[in-house]
Chains A and B, each alone.
Chain A
Amino acid sequence: MAKVKKSVNADPDPVIKITPVKTSAAAAVTTTSVVSFTQTLQKTLEAYKSSLTPKFALIDIFLGFLVALGALQFVFCCLVGNFPFNAFLGGFISTVGQFVLTVSLRLQFDDENRVAIWKGQGKEMKWRAMGDYIFASLVLHFIVYHFIN
């Protein structure tokens, strides 16, 4: 479990990343809403930590890695220039695409979701989700490969 906790701290998950922007601007509105706002976020974070299993942690580390990679490419593009624009786009969109695909997979792996939303049971559904995920990733990376030249 130690590994898991570490990952949460190191993980620039979107949950945490968006926080500073929102709180700073929300301060302008009212102080009470800021308090409840941060409270909400704290509660969410706690709920997140408590529901984390090693498998999900692995997925989340991957998500964090993708976000970091995408951000890195974006910063690089801003600093150095976007000369082979399709190469930059290909790289950037591949991270975005992989991110949303992985989030979709994660949503389908969640036990609560699977029963409540997909009405699916057991392993079969998981395997199908995994197969879909691999198929879509292959398509994505094939196109990216073609796009980058």
Chain B
Amino acid sequence: MKPLTSVLQTTAFALKVVIILSIAGAAISSRLFSVIRFESIIHEFDPWFNYRATKYLVENNFNDFLNWFDDRTWYPLGRVTGGTLYPGLMVTSGAIWHVLRKLSMPIDIRNICVLLAPAFSALTAYATYLFTSELKDSGAGLLAAALIAIAPGYISRSVAGSYDNEAIAITLLMTTFYLWIKACKLGSIFWSALSALCYFYMVAAWGGYVFITNLIPLHIFVLILMGRYSAKLYVAYTTWYALGTLASMQIPFVGFLPIRSNDHMAALGVFGLIQLVAFGNYVKSSTSSKQFKTFLTVSLVLIIALGVSGLFALTAAGLIAPWTGRFYSLWDTGYAKLHIPIIASVSEHQPTAWPAFFFDTQFLIWLFPAGIYLLFQDLANEHVFVIIYSVLCSYFAGVMIRLMLVLTPVICVCGAIAISKLFDVYLNLRELAATSEETRKDRIFQLLSRMIVIMSFGFYLCFFVYHCTWVSSTAYSSPSVVLASRNPDGSQAIIDDYREAYYWLRMNSPEDAKIMAWWDYGYQIGGMADRTTLVDNNTWNNTHIATVGKAMSSPEDKAYEILVNHDVDYVLVIFGGLLGYSGDDINKFLWMVRISEGIWPEDISERSFFTARGEYKVDDQASQTMQNSLMYKLSYYRYHEVFGMQAATDRVRNQVIPKKDIELDSLEEVFTSENWIVRVYQVKKGDNAGRNLQEAGSFERKAKGGRNRSAKKPEVGLREL
């Protein structure tokens, strides 16, 4: 009998390895749609910065990278880039690049960056397997790994080319949680130290590390409240906190935050608390329970009073920074809109719409509560952890759409636990065989009911695969730098306006040209056109962004002053009216107005950009302020010429643009891309004759318009001179 079990074990092990490998393969290959469909290209906005930073890291050394002062962004301020980024991602791909080169496999850094996210998603699947195996068994683990590998909620941030911090952060998140649960279970300093190191890596990689910083203390706190304190928890938590906090302070961007900001105070508080609880436990073990009770109440009241008043005093004294705006906006969804329009203006900070939950996790969304219920049935320490994680994250994911990403792993884990439990019960044929004494009819019904359940869930699982593939291929695989659309005959058309325009800038503008565009395009201009920008997606300086917003929303003469003051050479606007591309600047325009209104309420007012009836219009009913604003002029300049001087239609807003000519005096159009998505204007540098540009412009127009009449004029005046 013994050889048989060992053979079975070996087979099971081999099967597991094969399954995990194929899951990894599935995870990677389902993220390659964009590479196959377009090319190996960096996506969207933030990845372009990460890519540029990585290139800098590879070309220079690590120290240069940490001390990098970037004078090509945020002109004229510059940015202390090395101290204001999370270096984890760049260092990871830099390290991979170096290792591969040592192995004599020189691979272009761009390809490493593009394929980093899919590679790490395979690791995430493995980490999830380990995590879920700790919660239930390896069967559930494999299922969870398979689910997370293809869940659209995670794919949305980890397709090939979306080279963003989240790409490695989720892997690290799951690994940290796995190590933490292991540390809790074993009460081992070693595992806890590993968890702290992984936490450090996470801090280096993503700002979302604050989630772990608060989740783990909360776990401990809840366990203490449940009366589950044990020496194991003390060992795990204190080691994790001491090492993790110290390590996290090594990242320049984080600096002294872990002891200064309120976001991190919960962890410190629990650290203090667990010391006291440990002491209390020791006292308890050596005295009677009645004496201990009075001891406990007296000391508890004292400590809580001391702690809370201390926290308030320190915050009031300015030693601890109050909670940050992003934190407030998590609790009060209206907060950002009122106080920090720049945060509210980012689409990924918007509250999640309900269909998004189903879209991103499909049938797991309704298995998720079932999984939680099953966890409540066991309710060991690690199950408490998952429950807290899921409760917190469900809330956060509802508030901010980008936090769907953090929720997806726990949904997959809970869903996998539910399905695996179901399979445990319904695939258990031993029970069926045992009831041999009962009638045959009963057995058939039993078999039938089992078959129905198993088959329906088998169908759900298969359908899930179809759904995930469909979602990741249609929704999440667009690089957004290159757009895809369909020709009337159904064939695919690639719209490559962005790169066309950026390449034009790279080739035709002087190397030190300063380009003003809305901050969304800052990273792309830096990455693809390699030109200096005024603002970019880092958004660290709200006033500077508001300045750009003001320039865009002011009338031309006022805007020109701002442009000249900031040495702007080119202005770049995104215009989707011709193509019906809705993510253009006119649609973002209200945010520009709002952000600049926050700084200069006396110059800009949002109301004046609406029509009298309060509508946002660009046709002939558009308000005068709207029609005079620089953004409006730059977007629709010469637009009706495309329509053969007929009434021009804006296909995004479905409105007819007034026919009158838009006159530009201080800027001239230098480039408009094939589908008019990107329009580049050059700022004129003063007039040769010393007039101001308005006068010069109106003179020219008069000269042009009056040519017929002037032909008759004798040119005597000139001769006389």
List chain A positions with a Cβ less than 8 A from chain B: 14-15, 18, 21-22, 25-26, 29, 33, 36-37, 39-41, 43-44, 46-48, 85-86, 89-90, 93-94, 96-97, 100-101, 103-105, 107-108, 113, 117-118, 128-129, 131-133, 135-136, 139-140, 143-144, 146-147
Contacts and interface: CB of A to CB of B under 8 A. Distances in A.
Given A26-B298, A43-B287, A107 B246 contact: no
B286 A48 contact: yes
A135 B291 contact: no
Given A101-B239, A139-B193, A147 B249 contact: yes
Nearest to A94: B246
Interface of B: 187-190, 192-193, 196-197, 230-232, 234-235, 238-239, 241-243, 245-247, 249-250, 256, 259, 275, 278-279, 282-283, 285-287, 291-292, 294-295, 297-299, 301-302
B294 A37 contact: yes
A22 B249 CA distance: 33
A100 B78 CA distance: 43
19 contacts: A14-B279, A22-B302, A29-B298, A33-B297, A36-B291, A36-B295, A37-B295, A47-B285, A93-B242, A97-B242, A97-B243, A101-B189, A103-B234, A104-B238, A104-B239, A107-B234, A108-B235, A117-B187, A146-B250
Contacts of A132: 188-190, 193
B179 to A, nearest CB: 13
Nearest to B242: A97
B297 to A, nearest CB: 8
A129 B256 contact: no
A36 B299 CA distance: 12
A65 to B, nearest CB: 17
A10 to B, nearest CB: 20
A89 B235 contact: no
B678 to A, nearest CB: 46
A42 to B, nearest CB: 9
Given A43-B287, A101-B239, A104-B238, A22 B298 contact: yes
Given A37-B294, A93-B246, A136 B239 contact: yes
Contacts of B235: 104, 107-108
Contacts of B231: 107-108, 113, 117
A44 to B, nearest CB: 5
Highest count of chain A CB atoms <10 Å: which of B238, B239, B282, B297: B239
Contacts of B259: 89
B231 to A, nearest CB: 4
A133 B189 contact: yes
Nearest to A18: B279
A136 B193 contact: yes
A147 B295 contact: no
Given A25-B302, A147-B250, A100 B238 contact: yes
Nearest to A113: B231
A33 B250 contact: no
Given A22-B302, A47-B286, A129-B189, A143 B243 contact: yes
Contacts of A128: 188, 190
Given A36-B294, A37-B298, A107-B231, A140 B190 contact: no
In order of increasing CB-CB distance, the 6 nearest A-B pairs are A47-B286, A100-B238, A97-B242, A132-B189, A132-B190, A104-B235
A21 B250 CA distance: 35
A40 B158 CA distance: 57
A40 B283 contact: yes
Contacts of A94: 246
Contact of A44 (B241, B278, B283, B302): B283
A136 B285 CA distance: 28
B190 A89 contact: no
A97 to B, nearest CB: 4
A140 B286 contact: no
A103 B299 contact: no
Contacts of B197: 139
Nearest to A29: B298
A8 to B, nearest CB: 15
Highest count of chain A CB atoms <10 Å: which of B187, B192, B246, B256: B246
Given A40-B287, A107-B231, A108-B235, A100 B249 contact: no
A126 to B, nearest CB: 13
Contacts of B286: 43-44, 46-48
Contacts of B294: 33, 36-37, 40
Given A107-B234, A132-B190, A89 B256 contact: yes
A135 B191 CA distance: 11
Given A89-B249, A101-B189, A129-B189, A44 B287 contact: yes
Contacts of B188: 128, 132
B256 A103 contact: no
Contacts of A22: 298-299, 302
A21 B283 CA distance: 17
A140 B354 CA distance: 46
A40 B279 CA distance: 12
